[in-house]
């Protein structure tokens, strides 16, 4: 009997889902990269061999393994191998450096750390040694290998509700927060994405974002549920990636607002000639989507655009339906699945409860503060529900900048810039940007007699302090005085956004 995607979505563990899909369509491709193709059957078999190799190195059920790897077939196989063993895995975005990586390794007490060696000019192995990481293993194009016959049985179905994943998100504090997920919460999130987009067997998806992002397992679950492949891009950039997208006939692309803008820019550079003739759907989330971007994609790229709402704590909350009205697709984040409860509090705050919601954070105090007495996660985002059940986001209570789908803590940058001798006070805000979703703007109040400050001064100082490149400000504004309230003298960031967030201000 053929199992439906809904049947497969009832899998209790990710490894169970891998096995069930491999049994159904072992010879269908699941992952594509360059001229390499991995079928569902090969994916399962390679993951088992890798699991045996990891088992020989001491990885067991419950062992904490951190990995910082690029978007490659090997990365997906290694992650699946860890699910086969029932290990607790903590993915780390590849462009994070000593500060963030060191915090993550210490906070999750990683017993093993898997790195790519030297990647894109940066020596990850040397960083791991500097940080005193345990069990350092290089796994860029080779993986541990062993005899699957040496493995213990796969994780029992009941373990699907055990914490098996620790993801990292930058919130309103300087240090990232460790987000606790289970196999079931990730399957629930991926199922929401998959059932909303309703991919077809002849579709070809694309994973152009870091596989270490919460979107990695989200997308893999969709592939496993619907039995279609995706192209993996280790270093996504346009127009360079277009040859591979055309060669593999990618039909579903995207990732976030920044990706939509990139495809649109390429199309505008070649009017009259479709840049990707096979493309039928752009989909993603992770950053605000201007309504005008939706209409431009529909008119100029000639494909559908569906946008969703998710976060590291809840990988998929709502998603646009390709068959929805243009008005809803342009102005809302779509609707939640039946299993996701959305509550809007009196102040417009969005609260969530459902199987896709994380179990909390590594820090118990952060967990206690994040959930209300009814078990709803307090997102810190603001919004409203329309009469049709569509969610409209109206703002964020959290002081987080979302640039190209990645959360950036304003406070982290502010704390570092406060150490600059030419900075008296500083506020970092996110400003609307059609390509990135938001850009990082540092607004500085200088001490008397301080030398003039330039953007190059600021970014050079932050680089020297170890801040990741993707968090560096793209814009600097120097003001005589930051706007403050009359009570606690708190900086009024909304006034900075109003002042500098318009095209005229940018000019």
For tokens 């290998």, the residue is 145
Segment 331-357 mean pLDDT: 94
Segment 79-86 mean pLDDT: 98
Q: Say whether pLDDT at 335 is over 90.
A: yes
Q: Return d(Cα 3, Cα 60) in angstroms, integer.
A: 31
What pLDDT shows up at residue 489?
A: 63
Q: Are 186 and 218 in contact (CB under 8 A)?
A: yes
Segment 459-468 mean pLDDT: 94
CATH of 188-336, one of 3.40.50.1820, 3.40.50.140, 3.40.50.720, 3.40.50.980: 3.40.50.980
Of 37-51, 54-68, 98-112, 409-423, give the lowest mean pLDDT range: 409-423
What pLDDT shows up at residue 504?
A: 52
Segment 375-400 mean pLDDT: 88
* pLDDT tens-digit map of 114-131: 999 999 999 999 999 999
Of 38-47, 180-189, 494-503, give the lowest mean pLDDT range: 494-503
Q: Say whether pLDDT at 265 is over 70.
A: yes
Query: How many Cβ atoms sit within 10 Å of the Cβ of residue 272?
Result: 5
What pLDDT shows up at residue 1?
A: 52
Q: Say whether pLDDT at 261 is over 90.
A: no
Task: Tell me the domain boundaries of the chain.
Answer: 5-184, 188-336, 400-506
Segment 52-66 mean pLDDT: 98
What is the percentage of the chain residues whose pLDDT exceeds 70?
95
Q: Say whether pLDDT at 488 is over 60.
A: no
Segment 410-429 mean pLDDT: 90
Segment 364-388 mean pLDDT: 95
Q: Which of 127, 217, 156, 209 is nearest to 181 (CA)?
A: 217
Segment 386-394 mean pLDDT: 92
Q: Return d(Cα 223, Cα 260) in angstroms, integer.
A: 21
* pLDDT tens-digit map of 193-208: 999 999 999 999 999 9
Query: Binning pLDDT at 50, 70 and 90, where does residue 447 land?
Result: confident
What pLDDT shows up at residue 356?
A: 96
Q: Say whether pLDDT at 415 is over 90.
A: no
What pLDDT shows up at residue 56?
A: 98
Segment 59-76 mean pLDDT: 98
What pLDDT shows up at residue 323?
A: 93
Which tokens belong to 473?
């400000």
What is the percentage of the chain residues whose pLDDT exceeds 90?
77
Q: Return d(Cα 262, Cα 434) in angstroms, integer.
A: 10
Radius of gyration of the chain (CA): 23
Q: Are 442 and 475 in contact (CB under 8 A)?
A: yes
Buried b (16+ CB within 10 A) or exposed e, 338-371: eebebeeeeeebbbbbbbbbbebbbeeeebeebb
Q: Return d(Cα 388, Cα 328) in angstroms, integer.
A: 10
β partners of residue 177: 169
Query: Which has the higher per-residue pLDDT, 173 or 501?
Result: 501
Q: Which of 239, 168, 177 is nearest to 210 (CA)?
A: 168
What pLDDT shows up at residue 245?
A: 97
β partners of residue 231: 32, 206
Query: How many Cβ atoms sit within 10 Å of the Cβ of residue 52?
Result: 20
Segment 252-277 mean pLDDT: 90
Segment 93-111 mean pLDDT: 95
Q: Are 403 and 440 in contact (CB under 8 A)?
A: yes
Residue 178 main-chain phi, psi, to 5 deg = -85, 115
Q: Return d(Cα 457, Cα 415) in angstroms, integer.
A: 16
What pLDDT shows up at residue 487?
A: 45
Segment 272-291 mean pLDDT: 88
Q: Which of 93, 97, 99, 100 is nearest to 68 (CA)?
A: 93
Domains 5-184 and 188-336 share a fold: yes
Q: What value does the mean pLDDT of the chain take?
A: 92
* pLDDT tens-digit map of 361-370: 999 999 999 9
Topology adopted by domain 5-184: Rossmann fold (3.40.50)
Distance of CA 377 to the CA centre of its chain: 19
What pLDDT shows up at residue 486?
A: 47
Residue 440 main-chain phi, psi, to 5 deg = -95, 120
Segment 420-431 mean pLDDT: 92
Q: Is the peptide bond preceding residue 239 cis, with omega within 30 degrees of 0?
A: yes
Query: Binning pLDDT at 50, 70 and 90, where does residue 17 land?
Result: very high
Q: Which of 95, 167, 92 is nearest to 472 (CA)?
A: 95
CATH of 400-506, one of 3.30.300.30, 3.30.230.70, 3.40.140.10, 3.30.2090.10: 3.30.300.30
For tokens 């789908």, the residue is 405
Q: Return d(Cα 320, Cα 335) in angstroms, integer.
A: 7
What residues have CB less than 8 Å from 477, skipping those under 6 apart? 441, 442, 443, 444, 496, 500
For tokens 């790195």, the residue is 115
Query: Which has the higher per-residue pLDDT, 102 or 401?
Result: 102
Query: Which has the higher per-residue pLDDT, 306 or 419?
Result: 306
């Amino acid at each position: 009997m053929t199992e439906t995607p809904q049947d497969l979505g009832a899998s209790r563990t990710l490894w169970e889902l891998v096995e069930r899909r491999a049994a159904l369509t072992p010879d269908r491709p699941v992952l594509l990269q360059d001229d390499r193709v991995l079928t569902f059957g090969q994916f399962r078999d390679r993951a088992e061999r890798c699991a045996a190799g990891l088992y020989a190195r001491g990885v067991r059920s419950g062992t904490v393994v951190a990995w910082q790897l690029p978007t490659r077939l090997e990365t997906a196989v290694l992650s699946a191998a860890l699910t086969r063993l029932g290990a607790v895995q903590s993915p780390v975005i590849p462009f994070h450096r000593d500060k963030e990586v060191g915090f993550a390794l210490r906070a999750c007490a990683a017993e093993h750390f898997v790195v790519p060696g030297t990647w894109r000019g940066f020596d990850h192995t040397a960083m791991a040694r500097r940080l005193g990481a345990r069990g350092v293993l290089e796994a860029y194009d080779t993986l541990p290998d062993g005899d699957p016959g040496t493995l213990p049985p796969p994780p029992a179905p009941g373990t699907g509700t055990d914490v098996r994943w620790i993801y990292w998100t930058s919130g309103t504090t300087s240090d990232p927060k460790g987000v606790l997920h289970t196999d079931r919460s990730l399957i629930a999130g991926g199922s929401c994405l998959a059932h909303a987009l309703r991919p077809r067997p002849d579709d070809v998806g694309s994973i152009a974002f870091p596989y270490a992002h919460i979107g990695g397992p989200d997308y893999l679950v969709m592939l496993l549920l619907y039995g279609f492949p995706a192209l993996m891009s280790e270093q996504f950039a346009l127009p360079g990636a277009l040859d591979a997208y055309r060669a593999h006939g990618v039909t579903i692309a995207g990732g976030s607002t920044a990706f939509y803008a990139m495809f649109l820019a390429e199309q505008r550079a070649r009017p009259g000639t479709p840049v990707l003739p096979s493309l039928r759907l752009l989909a993603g989330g992770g950053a605000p989507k201007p309504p005008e971007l939706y209409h431009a994609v529909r008119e100029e790229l000639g494909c559908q655009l569906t946008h969703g709402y998710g976060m590291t704590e809840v990988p998929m909350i709502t998603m646009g339906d390709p068959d929805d009205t243009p008005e809803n697709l342009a102005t809302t984040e779509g609707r939640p699945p039946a299993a996701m409860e959305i509550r809007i509090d009196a102040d417009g705050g969005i609260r969530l409860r459902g199987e896709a919601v994380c179990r909390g954070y590594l820090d118990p105090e952060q967990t206690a503060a994040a959930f209300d007495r009814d078990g709803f996660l307090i997102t810190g985002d603001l919004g409203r529900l329309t009469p049709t059940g569509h969610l409209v986001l109206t703002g964020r209570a959290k002081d987080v900048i979302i640039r190209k789908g990645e959360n950036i803590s304003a406070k982290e940058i502010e704390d570092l810039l406060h150490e600059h001798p030419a900075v008296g006070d500083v506020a970092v805000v996110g400003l609307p940007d059609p390509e990135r979703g938001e850009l990082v703007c540092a607004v500085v109040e200088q001490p008397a007699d301080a030398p003039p400050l330039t953007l190059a001064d600021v970014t050079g100082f932050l680089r020297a302090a170890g801040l990741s490149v993707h968090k560096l400000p793209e814009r600097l504004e120097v003001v005589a005085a930051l706007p403050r309230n009359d009570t606690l003298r708190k900086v009024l960031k909304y006034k900075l956004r109003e002042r500098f967030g318009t095209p005229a201000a940018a000019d």
